[in-house]
Structure 1
């Protein structure tokens, strides 16, 4: 082959390598910056893999980003935090509602329950259930 062709191929490969290195280094692929359809899919897949009592509030923020809806309450020195992440599209109205989400219940920073948002017990009934079972 011609030395000129080989040098151009090597130059193109070097430029491609630099481009890939820059993308990997500087591109922030966090859930907060995803399109809503991609984020829903990511949330569904990620939540399906997590385990109760082994996943923490801090890990949720780091891996899933900010929740779409959140509620918190302290009862008898126990901190209850419910985070809702959008996992299924219901209505194109620009508003995320609980029925479009999966909730994660954290008690003192540790994941204790996962469920669909429309099955979320109203008026914090879940706390009463947790207190009577422990």
Structure 2
């Protein structure tokens, strides 16, 4: 019994020292976020204006954050995708994401200027 405890402790410490993280049984390395951000930037740059929100979500996946509001009688939805790491604090903030803006479920723009146009 004592050796099982010792082996378990060694395995646990080895995993902690190696920097491995498992989320829902899937190994996540420290470089995964870099690849995710690169892919998000690439996919966003290939979007076509006028496509549906569901088409964009199918292509980019679930956004990191989102919001919805009405503007001049139109429904506006903004999906935020992580595209640039700025802070090493373990938190993802809006300044690290690219907003993708939809008016009545159709893509009308992305980036900070498109977002500001609809928020102001």
* TM-score w.r.t. length of structure 1: 0.59
Q: How many residues align?
A: 90
Verify: 1:103 aligned to 2:99, yes or no.
yes
SS in 2 for 1:121: helix
Q: Give RMSD over aligned pairs.
A: 2.4
| Alpha-carbon displacement from aligned partner over 1:99-129 (angstroms, at most 9, x marks no partner) | 1111110001101011148x8429921xxxx
Q: Does 1:37 align with 2:31?
A: no
- Correspondence for 2:54 among 45, 53, 58: 58
1:85 Cα shift?
0.5
Runs (5+) with no aligned partner, structure 2: 1-30
Q: Which deviations, in whole Å up to 9, do the C-alpha atoms of 1:30-89 show, x marking residues without a partner?
A: xxxx92111101000011111212x22101211111111111013454210011101111
Alignment of 1:1-134 (within 5 A): 35-53=32-50, 55-75=51-71, 77-116=73-112, 120-121=115-116, 124-125=119-120
- Structure 1 runs, 4 residues or longer, greater than 4 Å off: none
Larger radius of gyration: 1
- Structure (1 or 2) with the greater helix fraction: 1
If each structure's strand is expressed as a fraction of its own residues, which one has the higher value? 2
